[in-house]
Every structure is written in structure tokens, then in C-alpha cells.
Amino acid sequence: MTVYLIELEAHTGAGVETLHLASEGYATLPTDSPANTWYEPRVISPGSFQRNLFRPGATSGDAEIGYGEIVLANVDGGLDAWLDYGFDGRPVTIKVLPDADTAYAQARTVFRGSVEMLDSTRAWEELRVRIFDRRLDLDKPLQVNRYAGTTTSAGPTAEGNADLKDQTKPIIFGAVFNVPGIIANPYDLIYQWSDSAVQSITVYDAGVQLKLAANYSTITQLRNASIRPGQYATCLAQGMARLGGAPYKQITADVVEGGAGQRTAAQIARRVLLRAGMTTSDFNTATFTALDGLNNAECGIYIDTDMHTKDAISQVLASVGGWLAPDHLGVFQVGRVSGPGVPKDTFTEDDILGSGGIELLAASDDGRGIPIYRATVRYGRIWHLMQDGELGGCVSNDRRAYLSTEYREAKADNLPAQTKHKLSPEITVDTLLATQSAAEAEASRLLGLRGLRRDTIVITLPFGDSERGDEAYTRATAINLGDTITVQVPRFGYGSGRPFVVIGREDSYGTADDPAQTVKLTCWG
């Protein structure tokens, strides 16, 4: 009989401990790691776990955190003390063994994620551990640094005056345009655009470009520099610039962060993860390189609020149709929703459970999956819009129009699609792409991707049947989000096999009363 092992980290008040539980009592050997450890038989159900690239049934949009639950027996009150423990944000691991006689070293890890909280609808009998995939770890503000409000006179500081106290310091990744400067030292005319090093800052006063005098390594050198009116100097190491004279009107800048080849969606997402406290062991670097190979266009994002890390990454990756999701081991990966690639496996009528084993669904995307006739990609975002009253008299009409329009647009059309599909929609995607050519390429790609029939289906597979459990188990666990599979059944035009991208997965691990284990794959293609 299958045995589930739960390893759950908690802060007990005295320190951090790992708690060990199982679906039936299990002890590790002295040679195991952990050694001589008893897994208390309290797991009523390892439950189910659902995760998607985006929201269920969608191929674009914001990343949605995967979720599930573990149910534990507590009739004797032995876990009551846990209500005083700190579980939130701490890791949880689910492992599985074919039976209690199998060595711990043979246990397969089927899930690594994070705990949110404990609750129960049957508190006298059981506790429920709410678990999430590791995107929960990213659901918190990316930028935690605030202005101290302590710069109250001239000098080599840039913490803002009392008006800026506790305001979020801005941060930039990639290339951004016409970003407002934060006057971090009004006494020395020092402005800040990013709370991190940048490659270049091109400053404008009332829409008119000022002349760069020099760059300095420290704020002390910047503050002591002699700068003529109409010019500015930078301290790129701290994302700052100092004016040579009082500003005429609004100060803005075009800012570039990251070197050549580092301003792509994939590389920005990677740096955001590192900024959020992740390490290279937390993500699969090869997938970031692979995404660069699919789209290496320049992007950029400016953050001056408590934007969460997950949302910042979603916005960046959406610019190239990308996604971020952890695998079952909790390692973050990125990819792009494209047409199906090389299939990892083929599932036939014999593999899919029951007559209800296939569901045909409407997509959760705009247009509900109806083929589109036009894709519009908005790019080149202006981060501070300016009207005539904010601009100098010498600013050209073209630049005035540019600075008053938040995005530029690139379109790709297939108007004949409206002949067959009377409800054929247009989709519009806001991106952080920097250039027209990149936006045109993405619009063309989206039209090719969404301008034809695409099915969204759910197939149900066995995850441990008594007769074919090992083979089914191995095949099911091998399928990750973003993989391509082939579905071959004698219906729906799938007779020769139709490839699909896996955009969602729900694992049901079964219970002591109902040991049936299944995997539902949501597929698009």
C-alpha cells in the first residue's frame, strides 16, 4: 500500500523544527537522512494539488499561485499545540513510497512548496494544512527599501526630506523611458531613478535633453562636483543624477539598467528573482537561456510602489508570452506559450480514465478561444505622461505627441478570419517591449498562435492503479507544466494524434478510504 511521507517545517517558538508525518507509521534507518526518524501516522489525506501556468485554462496573464491541502488526524488533540507554531511561508515536502517496507532512499518527491496556514472545518477530528507552490514566496513586495527622510540640509546624502519619509525607493530593470526623477536631496539637486546600479541616465528638463558632464563613483564625489547650468552629472552606481542648476519644470530621464544581452524578459526576470532573495539553486538557469533563444528583445520596468515580485515578473514575461512556474521540486522555470513542441509522451484511449476522461473547455483567455483576426501589441511605454504646460517651448510637435501617449502600437491582421468566425475578436497586449520591431514580431507571432483553432482539454490519467501503477505513476510524474504531449483518441480529429501544451495540472493523491490517485492535465493546442 502506498505510503505518503510529509516533511513540514515550523517555528515552535523555541526554534525551527522539521515535523514528520505519514499515512502509516514509518521509521527511517540509522543510515538514512534523516536518520532514526519516526513519521507519525496522522496523514488522512495528502489531498490534491492544482497548479497552472496562469489562471486555470489560460495561456496568458498573471501567474496564479498553485494550491492544495494536507489533512491530518487530530482526534486525540496531539496536534493542538501546532496552533501556536509559525508555519506560514515555510517549506513542505511530500514524498511517496510504494509500501512501508521500502527504504527511505527510494522515496520519490512529488511536491515541494510552501505552507500558508492551518485551519479545519472539523476541528475536533482533524487539521488541514494549506499548501501552495513556491510562487507564494514571491507574493510579497519586491522593493523593501524606503527613504529615511533624513536629508534636511546640503551634504552627501540622498534619503529625502520629511515629505519623502517611508516612500518606496524606485527601482529599474532594463530600459525605460521618461521616468520621473525623485528629488532625494533637494538642497544639492540630486535626483534618484533607481535604488540599484544602472548603465546610463539621460536627463530631460521639461522634455528638453540636458548635457551629461561626467559620471562619479560615489554620492560624495557627485555632490562635490562642479556642474554648469543646463548640464548634469551622474552616479550610476546609485541610480542618481545631480543638476547643475535649478530645474525649469518636470525632471525626467530615459534610464538603461543591465548590460547588453541582460535587458531581455528572461534576464530581467532572473535578476528580479535574485533581488527578491532567491539564489541560483532556486531556479533552472537553462530555461532562462532557452527563453532568450525564443525572444531576446529589450524590455524594461520601473517600480516605485509596493509591487509584489510575482506581479513584476508576470508583467515582464507577458511581454514575450512568457511564464514562470516551479516544477514539482519547487525549482522555478520560465518558458513561453508557443505552439506545441516535441511531445514528451503520447496518451491514448487506453491511458485516459473513463468515458469522462476528456473534457473540452472554452479557453479562459480573452475571446474564449475563438480564433482572432487581429493582434495588437502595445510597446515603448512612457512612464510619465506630459502635456503642453509641462513642456519647454522648443520641444517639437513630434516629441510632444510622443510624451503625451503612454504606448505605441504594432498590429497584425487576418481579416478573412471574420468570414468564418463572426465573433472573431481582436486581442490587445500591453508589454514592456522597448522597440517597434520587437512589438511587430510579437504581434505576428500572437496572430499565428491564436488565429486558428486551438482546443483546451482536460485529460484524466491514473496515478497509481493497482495493475499498472508503476508505469502510470512514472509517466504521470514526468509531465511538467509547459511540456508538450500527444493525445491520440478516435474522436475530435485526434485520430492521428494531436499535440498539446500542458498549461495546468491537478494531482489527487487519494485518501485512506479512497486510495484512487489521478492526474488531470489541462492541455492547449
Report, as an integer, the average pLDDT of 306-312. Answer: 96
- Rounded to whole angstroms, the Cα distance separating 485 from 478 reads 11
Per-residue cell: 19: 515535523
Which run of H or of E encompasses 271? helix 265-275
Q: Determine the pLDDT at residue 354.
A: 65
Q: Which CATH number fits domain 346-364+454-524: 3.40.50.2300, 2.30.300.10, 1.10.220.10, 1.10.10.10?
A: 2.30.300.10
Label residue 211 exposed, middle or buried (CB < 10 Å: 0-12, 13-18, 19+): exposed
Residue 467, pLDDT > 70, answer no
Q: How far from each other are the two terminal CA atoms of the chain, in whole angstroms? A: 37
Q: Which residues contact 322 (CB under 8 A, 6 or more apart)?
A: 265, 266, 269, 291, 295, 316, 334, 335, 336, 337
pLDDT in tens, 222-237: 999 999 999 999 999 9
- If you ran DSSP here, which 8-state letter would residue 82 be given? G
- Rounded to whole angstroms, the Cα distance separating 45 from 476 reads 20
Highest mean pLDDT among 10-24, 39-53, 476-490: 10-24
- Rounded to whole angstroms, the Cα distance separating 126 from 39 reads 17
Residue 252, pLDDT > 50, answer yes
Report, as an integer, the average pLDDT of 6-23. Answer: 96
Quick check: 317 and 324 in contact, CB under 8 A? Answer: yes
Grade residue 355 by pLDDT with cuts at 50, 70 and 90: low
Per-residue cell: 448: 499565428
Give the E-state strand segments of 181-297 in sequence order.
182-185, 190-192, 200-205, 208-209, 211-215, 231-235, 240-243, 251-256
Record the pTM: 0.90
Q: Determine the pLDDT at residue 406.
A: 97
Quick check: 69 and 131 in contact, CB under 8 A? Answer: yes
Q: Which residue has the higher pLDDT, 174 or 368?
A: 174
Instruction: List C-alpha distances in Å: 23 to 40, 72, 103, 228, 501.
Output: 8, 9, 16, 75, 34
- Rounded to whole angstroms, the Cα distance separating 397 from 388 reads 10
Q: Determine the pLDDT at residue 47.
A: 72
pLDDT in tens, 378-424: 999 999 999 988 999 899 999 999 999 999 999 999 999 899 999 99
Burial letters 164-174, b for 16+ CB under 10 A, else e:
beeebbbbbbb
Q: 3-class SS at 371?
A: coil
Q: Which residue has the higher pLDDT, 466 or 476?
A: 476
Q: Listing from the earlier edge strand, what are the strands of the sheet with 231-235?
A: 182-185, 190-192, 240-243, 231-235, 211-215
Quick check: 522 and 505 in contact, CB under 8 A? Answer: yes
What single letter denotes the amino acid at residue 39? Y
What single letter denotes the amino acid at residue 380? G
Q: Determine the pLDDT at residue 369.
A: 87
Residue 302, pLDDT > 50, answer yes
Quick check: 49 and 65 in contact, CB under 8 A? Answer: no
Instruction: List C-alpha distances in Å: 360 to 65, 277, 352.
Output: 24, 41, 14
Q: 3-class SS at 302?
A: strand
- If you ran DSSP here, which 8-state letter would residue 400 be given? H
Name the region of 378 (left: φ>0; alpha: ψ -120 to 50; beta: rest).
beta
Closest Cα partner for 203 from 159, 167, 239? 239
Residue 509, pLDDT > 80, answer no
Greatest C-alpha distance within the chain: 83
Domain residues of the chain, as ranges? 3-134, 162-256, 265-336, 346-364+454-524, 374-450
Grade residue 72 by pLDDT with cuts at 50, 70 and 90: very high
- Rounded to whole angstroms, the Cα distance separating 111 from 121 reads 24
